[in-house]
Structure 1
């Protein structure tokens, strides 16, 4: 009996909750509510509104990598299809390695140097880049700085001509294996150090 009274007391609070969300100008959601006690009270298909966005989890970059590799091995993916769907996936995949240590000459997956990192990331998407910054700048096609898009390789004169490379991630940022921070990290292209040493960009996914 006490449990039933307790449920009845809670009902006005629940109804107030529904009224509050109904007044909000957001997306509509439907749900089935069940209150259990000595007797069961069913509120079916209660309608309320919420400002919460329900997102469907995105496929992980690792899953995408395996999917692309499988299709490439079977010859079931065209260059055009690979390019059109790859820029965002490539960046997402590259971000999986944030924090991995910088080791000169390393090409992943546990550690990288700058060109080893770009080579490893692009290799997951069917592109075989040489493991040398000076050679990578000869790949793809030249891109002006004001026309960069995600996935472009960007080069810098940090320790002599064309001595560092990273992957443009969008919004003025790029991801790279940095000898300065000794790890894979994200930096801003407009930062004075990189801005002054910018040496060019190449578009690999044309």
Structure 2
């Protein structure tokens, strides 16, 4: 009987050792697979800071270009009267005005009506408004109004008084604020 045990013992140890090695290989594979999704920066902290500064500078330039383009559009349209359903320099409404800014100055096609523009981009909080964001108001039971945020609490829109800059916190607009949407990520 002892001879049989001595004979079986090496086989048992062999199988236990093989199972242990197999388990170790599985664990190493899992670690390697999870690590392949981690990106380790090869930049020094100073180089990382320079990269972030370059990105900020680029974003600043993009915002300046966008502001310039929108202000050019304003200069071209500032004397145009408001006409419900209008889409020309003879008269324009708020959603056509916004659609034209996006198409002609930012090369982005958005829908024509306020009701369809509210579905474009992503919804953002009023406190997150940035240059170029759309800002919507409920001005009546079914009436909606849209403008483009210009920064510093101002938005530009085609109002019944014509093309205007207005403060978002002006009592009428503050009371009727509905939502804001971001079309362009800055």
Q: TM-score, normalised by structure 1?
A: 0.55
Could you say which residue in structure 2 is the equivalent of 1:154?
A: 135
1:84 alignment counterpart: 62
Structure 1 pair 150–161 and aligned structure 2 pair: CA distance change class (3 A): farther
Q: Deviations over 1:39-73 (max 9, x none)?
A: xxxxxxxxxxxxxxxxxxxxxxxxxxxxxxxxxxx
SS in 1 for 2:146: strand
In the alignment, structure 1 residue 100 sits paired with structure 2 residue 80: yes
Which of 196, 202, 205 is the matching residue for 2:175? Answer: 196
* Larger RCO of the pair (alpha carbons < 8 Å, separation 6+): 2
- Measured on the aligned residues, the alpha-carbon RMSD in Å equals 2.2
In structure 2, the gaps of 5 or more residues are 1-57
Where does 1:129-144 land on structure 2 (aligned, <5 Å)? 129-144=110-125
Question: Is the Cα contact below 8 Å between 1:114 and 1:177 reproduced in 2?
Answer: yes
Deviations 1:65-88 (A, max 9, x none): xxxxxxxxxxxxxxx99x935531
Cα offset, 1:133, TM superposition: 0.2
2:8 maps to: none
- Tell me, in whole angstroms, the C-alpha distance in 2 between the residues paired with 1:88 and 1:132: 23
Matched residues in 1 for 2:115 and 2:136: separation? Answer: 9
Q: Which runs of 5+ in 1 are unaligned?
A: 1-79
Instruction: Tell me which structure has the larger Cα radius of gyration.
Output: 2
TM-score, length-scaled by structure 2: 0.61
Inter-partner Cα distance in structure 1 for 2:181 and 2:169? 18
Counterpart for residue 16 of structure 1: none
> How many angstroms apart in 2 are the aligned matches of 1:104 and 1:203?
25
Specify the alignment match of 1:26 in structure 2. Answer: none
Residues 115 and 131, structure 1, Cα contact 8 Å, conserved in 2: yes
Secondary structure, counterpart of 1:202 in structure 2:
strand
